[in-house]
Copies of this chain bind each other. A is one copy, B any other.
Amino acid sequence: MVHNGIEYAMMQLIAETYDILRRAGGLDNNRIREIFDKWNEGQLQSYLIQITAEVFKTLDKESNTFLVDLVLDKAGSKGTGKWTSQSAMDLAVPIPVIDTAVAMRNLSIYKEDRTKAASIYKPRSEKINVDEAFLTDLENALAFSFIIAYAQGLNQLAKASIELKMDIPLPSVIRVWKAGCIIRSALLGNFSAAYNRDQFLSNLLLDSDIALLIKEREQSARNLTAAAMRAGIPVAALASTVTYFDAYCSERLPTNLIQAQRDYFGAHTYQRIDREGVFHTEWHESE
């Protein structure tokens, strides 16, 4: 199930990359195929990138035009992505990039609403100049977001292993995924090494070698996502990996305010940073 959740995330991330190249970059299918073919020879080498390139080679036999352009943009699903998200919420594990992929598939179904909204809001996608520097940023941003997607899914397995006493051997999970499944990729080699260093690693992002991979790609992911958001291209999954990373690296989150609000309106109590215990305050009376 979690394999499929990660698969949903990777497919959504690839689709957003395609959208940037096509809508903001104005690239044609041949050029997009070349880019995915080239990416499949480098850090992004993976089954999903490989088949994406092949999709852009396929012609509709009758019209002799690219088949991908004739496919309706409403996603189907068998439910495995949804189950992954629902289960993660029960386990209290944050997997926002998978949640986002599920939400975006659901949003795609409302084609009639989207058509109405497009006529009301008349979105003008700003153009982006897709030069070599931009393509390098895009490739690095996609690699960054793939790592985060795997990290979130594996974090869910690590938590499930403890909470549900499932005793999941994460090094074996990676071995199985490498052996020939839809999310197989060169990156799994790096993850094997990380789990060989610590088989109980709670989150891949805490491994020092994975941290190097992330640090080298962080700025690209940040630049790319900001540029796409300014251009009006919906990069929900890409953006969610950057914001997850920023939250994950925040020793201090603004959640103290949420706890204060909850205690204010519902007396839900709060903990303190300076002493043990559970506290309640009559906030509005203590001015």
B72 adjacent to A257 (CB under 8 Å)? no
Contacts of A261 in B (CB 8 A): 11, 14, 48, 51-52, 55
What's the dominant secondary structure at chain A's contact region? helix
| A113-121, A162-170, A192-200: which lies at the interface | A113-121
Q: How many copies does the complex hold?
A: 2
Chain A, 103-154, CB within 8 A of any chain B CB = 103-110, 113-118, 120-121, 123
Give Cα A95 to B82, complex, Å: 13
Contacting pair A249 B117 (CB below 8 A): yes
Q: Which of A257-287 contact B (CB under 8 A)?
A: 257-262, 264-265, 268-274, 281, 283-284, 286-287
**Bound CA–CA A232/B223 (angstroms):** 11
Contact A15 B258 (CB under 8 A): yes
Check: A233 CB closer than 8 A to any chain B CB.
yes
Docked-complex contact A253 and B108, CB < 8 angstroms: yes
Given contacts A58-B286, A82-B89, A229-B239, A248 and B107 within 8 Å (CB-CB): yes
Partner of A103, one of B70, B99, B262: B99
Kindly list chain B residues whose C-beta atoms are within 8 Å of the C-beta of A51.
261, 264-265, 283-284
Binds B, one of A37-45, A171-179, A201-209: A201-209
- Extra contacts, 9 of them, besides A75-B262, A78-B268, A99-B103 (Cβ < 8 A), are A16-B254, A73-B253, A75-B258, A92-B109, A99-B100, A100-B100, A114-B248, A114-B253, A117-B249
25 contacts between A and B (CB under 8 A): A14-B257, A16-B254, A18-B254, A55-B260, A58-B260, A58-B286, A67-B283, A71-B256, A71-B260, A71-B273, A72-B273, A73-B253, A76-B259, A76-B269, A94-B103, A96-B104, A96-B236, A99-B103, A108-B258, A116-B206, A117-B206, A117-B249, A120-B205, A239-B239, A239-B240
